Structure 1
Amino acid sequence: MNTVVTSKEDILRASRELIRQRGWSAVNIRSVAAACGVSVGSIYNYFDSKAALVGATVESVWGEIFRRPEDGAVFGDAQACIAWIYGQMEYGSRQYPGFFTLHSLGFLGEEKVRGQMRMQQTWQHIREELCAVLKRDARIRADAFTDLFTAERFADVLFSLMLSALLRQDYDPSAVLEIVRRTLY
């Protein structure tokens, strides 16, 4: 086996590919080293344990699924943003079968705390972005939000609907888009 040191991104790319081909159970230090064509020690240069490798892979998968689109206009329109998020959820489900379900069940035992932390960070980022989009969308009625019904609270409602859709594996945003139309425009 070649002992050439590879990059952290190469390791994560190989880990994501193993998941696509063989599922989450395929990710371990030896299989990733083999996929990268490097020694096991080369993987340990970047990750001190399987848990660390899996945790970084989880973060990498979240980053791939919800990477910012090239068309930034998506974040100026609430309906376009919601449709994009649902499309990304569908993409993530196809590329990484079971990923969302694993997270909803607490992910892997040894990586539970770090996995949940990464999931919460991603979810918080999505909620914050939804809220920002709701505040930026020029088409939303000026009186749509009040002291009681804030953009933050509506973003939480939308996010809850998205989580429910993830668990049901329902990636059709039409019902949520109708709620947004009737509530805000």
Structure 2
Amino acid sequence: MNTVVTSKEDILKTSRELIRQQGWSALNIRSVAAACGVSVGSIYNYFDSKAALVSAAAESVWCGIFHRPKDTGVFQDTQACIIWIYERMEYGCRQYPGFFTLHSLGFMQEDKADGKRRMQQAWKHIPEELCSVLKRDSRIRAGAFTEQFTVEKFADVLFSLMLSALLRQDYDSSAVLEIVRRALY
């Protein structure tokens, strides 16, 4: 794992690998510098503090887990989209054991505002994409959405269920799919 760092992305890639292999607690300036084969000062050229490094690494992990798939068919159907999200959550749990729980719990402290902002930024596309999928899904019955029960509110409910599942480490999408079937089809 000792490679020469040539960019911020190289540092983040090494950071993700440290998190994957040794867990969240292994991430610090010294461990990343050692894994990159560079001096501590080299890391500080890209990140002005451990908090900045940890925050950027967390965002990088979230983006890696929930990156947009090449298969755009995933976003043509609500059920396929939900299955994809839950599969990605399970993938993230396997790739980064304990990351979801530790990362989420770490944001309960006030000094983690930047990390929380970055996490929300990494997630931003998920509820937005759910709204788009819900609007495009031709299987949704006419009149399923109303002024009180909007696409945006339902996407928020689905996203909340996803976040709850992340914390419970429950990657079975069947209950959420049943909610979708009963509410929309």
TM-score w.r.t. length of structure 1 = 0.92
Are 1:34 and 2:34 an aligned pair? yes
**Shift in Å, 1:5:** 4.9
Greater Cα shift, 110-119 or 57-66: 110-119
Gaps of 5+ in 2: none
**Shift in Å, 1:107:** 3.6
Equivalent residue of 2:124, what SS? helix
Equivalent residue of 2:67, what SS? coil
- The AA in structure 1 aligned to 2:63 is G
- The AA in structure 2 aligned to 1:73 is G
Q: Which residue of 1 is the match for residue 89 of structure 2?
A: 89
Native 8 Å contact 1:23 1:97 kept in 2: yes
Are 1:100 and 2:100 an aligned pair? yes
Q: CA RMSD in A?
A: 1.8
CA distance in 2, matches of 1:96, 1:133: 28
Q: Relative to structure 1, is the Cα distance of residues 170 and 157 closer, same or farther in structure 2, using a 3 angstrom cutoff?
A: same
Note the alpha carbon deviations across 1:119-159, whole angstroms, 9 max, x for none. 22233321111111101112111211111111111111111
- The AA in structure 2 aligned to 1:49 is S
Q: Which residue of 1 is the match for residue 127 of structure 2?
A: 127
Are 1:45 and 2:19 an aligned pair? no
Native 8 Å contact 1:106 1:116 kept in 2: no
CA distance in 2, matches of 1:6, 1:110: 33
CA distance in 1, matches of 2:75, 2:118: 22
- The AA in structure 2 aligned to 1:142 is A
Aligned counterparts, 1:16-165, within 5 A? 16-107=16-107, 112-165=112-165
Note the alpha carbon deviations across 1:71-115, whole angstroms, 9 max, x for none. 011111100000000011111111112221123323485851111
Greater Cα shift, 121-130 or 48-57: 121-130
Native 8 Å contact 1:135 1:151 kept in 2: yes
Native 8 Å contact 2:33 2:40 kept in 1: yes
CA distance in 2, matches of 1:126, 1:176: 15
CA distance in 1, matches of 2:39, 2:78: 48
TM-score w.r.t. length of structure 2 = 0.92
**Shift in Å, 1:23:** 0.9
CA distance in 1, matches of 2:5, 2:147: 56
CA distance in 1, matches of 2:107, 2:32: 19
Native 8 Å contact 2:81 2:130 kept in 1: yes
Q: Relative to structure 1, is the Cα distance of residues 168 and 137 closer, same or farther in structure 2, using a 3 angstrom cutoff?
A: same
